[in-house]
């Protein structure tokens, strides 16, 4: 079963377009490009980039990184369902 947001965007094409336009605009910013480059650099240094282990390097609040699954990383900083 698909998530509520997936179902919503499937049935509301105009809302999906707005979301995609926002993401494209955000990803072009200098700040976001630096953030992506930093995470990619760390992943390459640690040997995780492209090795198929399905792990990410997550930023910790105090600085530094911790290796974890992408789902746990995404789920941490959001509201309760």
pLDDT value for 33: 95
Task: Quote the CA–CA distance of 76 and 7 in Å, as a whole number.
Answer: 23
Q: What are the domain boundaries of the chain?
A: 35-45+53-81
- The 8-class DSSP code of residue 7 comes to H
Quick: pLDDT tens for 5-61: 999 999 999 999 999 999 999 999 999 999 899 989 998 998 888 888 888 888 888
pTM score above 0.85: no
Task: Quote the CA–CA distance of 49 and 36 in Å, as a whole number.
Answer: 13
pLDDT value for 2: 81
pLDDT value for 60: 85
pLDDT value for 8: 95
């Amino acid at each position: 079963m698909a998530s509520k947001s997936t179902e919503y965007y499937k049935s509301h094409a105009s809302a999906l377009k707005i979301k995609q336009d926002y993401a494209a605009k955000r990803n072009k910013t200098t700040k976001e490009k630096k953030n992506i480059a930093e995470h990619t650099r760390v992943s390459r240094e640690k040997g995780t980039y492209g090795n198929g282990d399905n792990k990410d390097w997550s930023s910790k609040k105090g600085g530094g990184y911790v290796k974890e699954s992408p789902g746990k990383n995404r789920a941490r900083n959001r509201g309760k369902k």
